[in-house]
Amino acid sequence: MTIEPRRRRVAMVSVHTSPLAQPGTGDAGGMNVYVIETAKRLARRGIDVDIFTRRTTAAEEPVVEVEPGVVVRHIAAGPYEGLDKEDLPGQLCAFAAGMMRVAAHAPEGHYDLVHSHYWLSGQVGWLAADRWDVPLVHTMHTMARVKNLHRAEGDVEEPKGREIGEAQVVEAADRLVANTRDEAQELIDLYGADPERVDIVPPGVDLDTFRPGDRAAARADVGVATDAVLLLFVGRIQPLKAPDVLIRAAANLVRRNPALRDRLVVGILGGASGGAVRSPMALDLLAEDEGIADLVRFVPPADRGTLAKWMRAADVVAVPSHNESFGLVAIEAQACGAVVVATNVGGLPTAVGDGGILVDGHDSHDWADAIESVVDDPDRAADLSARAVAHAARFGWEVTAQQLATVYEAALATPLRASINDSGELAGIPRAVMP
């Protein structure tokens, strides 16, 4: 009788935002997409995934099976509503207790590994991995010291407590997953990470949903005229993402070419996030001040299928962020054949490749120049579109999941705890640089 080998089981931790939440508003964004898409692909490869996230409404079921092998577990930690992400450090103990209760009802050795996302989850994952005596794999997604170096004007500085918490997680993790080579270097330079424990695994794109298609049909579906010039921003409305840059650039284009006013549409897809929830960016007032309020359309966050239609419909998708660890919007837009114009920062050069245009800084004239070079040159636009599709095809989520599975096996084969000496310190491993 043949005995089938036991499937691996990973406890994936995403404290502050549920992978089931709609990306584009609140704290839901690229990380949500990353968590759910990798979990599904890992399960299809034979690695079961339990995703632990904080319960934010009474309507959420405690346990939700997404598909065979993928379960979302909503943990009660603090009041369901009214807590900002900045309030959550005070709920990490409650969250960890909820995870421990789940594991207490499972057989010993139920989880083989913990994979935490973002520093809040890393703090909980560190405790869980230590309690269960399993490896901890951690993905930062964003880092306080990097965000503070590239902070938008008027944006709030990331607190010292977050920096310290991140440094602790860097030291505790068996493996650290970076989206790009640049992010890996930031972990090493800014947090003292051991290079031997940093793995580069680029995020992916759902190539079944985000794919080229009929632009005219897409425009009909989203209510944009066939002959319009559509400039699109997709993402959370917050200073870090800099949607104001696109509005100012669009106003520049109209001042240069007044005839463009009859055809130009500026689409802003997303909802307020972070500090912008309490202190809105007032993009509508900015558009009015710039004289293009009649050209700007504000669209609430859309499901993935509708988002793909908007991207197929666009002449240009702008990603003017002050920093991105990767930039899922950029790669999703490129998979749809859209020309991406993005800031030359963080992981965006990797996401964009040779299928788009990178702009140094956020000067509205420079952005207008870059957009104009596409809008006024159909041949260049067609060439970039073809390059974009080919570039994005290399980033399917299946590739990401395969590489993550390899990281998991490395963490299981060489656990950090085996390097802890009698004094309780890491033997031969540099301690993370503390502020």
Q: What are phi and psi of 159, to 5 degrees?
A: -70, 155
Instruction: Please tell me the chain's helix, strand, coil percentages from 3-state DSSP, rounded to the nearest 5.
Output: 45, 15, 35
28 annotated as belonging to a binding site for a ligand: yes
368 annotated as belonging to a binding site for a ligand: no
Q: What is the CA radius of gyration of the chain?
A: 22
User: Nearest-CA neighbor of 98 among 144, 50, 65, 59?
Assistant: 50
387 annotated as belonging to a binding site for a ligand: no
On whether the CB atoms of residues 174 and 416 are closer than 8 A, the answer is yes
| Residues 371, 337: Cα–Cα separation, whole Å | 16
22 annotated as belonging to a binding site for a ligand: yes
Query: In the numeric block, which tokens belong to residue 284?
Result: 């509508």
327 annotated as belonging to a binding site for a ligand: no
332 annotated as belonging to a binding site for a ligand: yes
430 annotated as belonging to a binding site for a ligand: no
| Residues 45, 39: Cα–Cα separation, whole Å | 10
31 annotated as belonging to a binding site for a ligand: yes
324 annotated as belonging to a binding site for a ligand: yes
123 annotated as belonging to a binding site for a ligand: no
User: Nearest-CA neighbor of 134 among 417, 401, 405?
Assistant: 417
On whether the CB atoms of residues 245 and 239 are closer than 8 A, the answer is no
32 annotated as belonging to a binding site for a ligand: yes
236 annotated as belonging to a binding site for a ligand: yes
- State the DSSP code for 55: -
On whether the CB atoms of residues 151 and 46 are closer than 8 A, the answer is no
239 annotated as belonging to a binding site for a ligand: no
257 annotated as belonging to a binding site for a ligand: no
168 annotated as belonging to a binding site for a ligand: no
125 annotated as belonging to a binding site for a ligand: no
29 annotated as belonging to a binding site for a ligand: yes
**Three-state secondary-structure class, residue 317:** strand
Query: Counting Cβ atoms within 10 Å, is residue 228 exposed (0-12), middle (13-18) or buried (19+)?
Result: middle
**Three-state secondary-structure class, residue 208:** coil
Annotated binding site: 16, 22-23, 27-32, 85, 118, 142, 162, 236, 241, 311-312, 314, 324, 332
Residue positions forming the annotated binding site for 1D-myo-inositol 3-phosphate:
16, 27-32, 85, 118, 142, 162
Q: What are the binding residues for UDP-N-acetyl-alpha-D-glucosamine? A: 22-23, 30, 236, 241, 324, 332
Residues at the binding site for Mg(2+) are 311-312, 314
